[in-house]
Structure 1
Amino acid sequence: MTTAFNVFESRRNTATGRLGFAVLAHCRAAFVEWRTRETLRAKLAGLSDRELLDFGIGRGEIDYVSSNRASDPRGAVLPP
């Protein structure tokens, strides 16, 4: 009886371990995405108004552009 219990217990620990790694991987991916967004926001904020207009965005659109990198504020979809 204890052998069967140990087999089930080890499976439960393995599943819990995988879930823990999945949560850590998700947290890491979210952190990397946040850092990428912040880096882009800082680089765009460092540009002059004229340079931003060359890209077709205004200073007030920096937060939107950095948060929604997959879309263009003018309506065109950018490639990934």
Structure 2
Amino acid sequence: MTTINAITEVGPATAKPQFYSSFEKYWNAFLEWRQRDRLRAQLCHLTDKELADIGITRGEIDCVAWHRD
């Protein structure tokens, strides 16, 4: 019978499993959507004068929030 005297350290895997990379992609898209939705809500709460001060109209809020030039 042999005895193992040394412990081999195992490093992190170099490639993520496919599930985690897909999940991360969708999670990041969800976070980006939430951030854009918050920006849209903040712009909707501004008055027309405040919107004019930053150079947009109420009709352009969606385009500005979603970066659709």
TM-score, structure 1 length as denominator? Answer: 0.64
Query: Deviations 1:10-63 (Å, cap 9, x if unpaired)?
Result: xxxxx7x71100011001100000000100000000000000000000000000
The equivalent residue for 1:10 is none
The equivalent residue for 1:46 is 45
Look up the equivalent residue of 2:37 and give its one-letter code. E
TM-score, structure 2 length as denominator? Answer: 0.74
* Structure 2 residue matching 1:62: 3-state secondary structure: helix
Name stretches of at least 5 consecutive residues in structure 1 with no aligned partner. Answer: 1-14, 74-80
User: In the TM superposition, what is the alpha-carbon distance from 1:67 to its structure 2 partner?
Assistant: 0.3
4+ residue segments displaced more than 6 Å:
none
Bigger Rg over Cα: 2
Structure 2 CA distance for aligned equivalents of residues 23 and 31 of structure 1: 12
Number of residue equivalences: 55
Answering whether residue 62 of structure 2 is matched by residue 59 of structure 1, we say no
What percentage of aligned pairs have identical amino acids? 45
Structure 2 CA distance for aligned equivalents of residues 39 and 56 of structure 1: 19
Name stretches of at least 5 consecutive residues in structure 2 with no aligned partner. Answer: 1-14
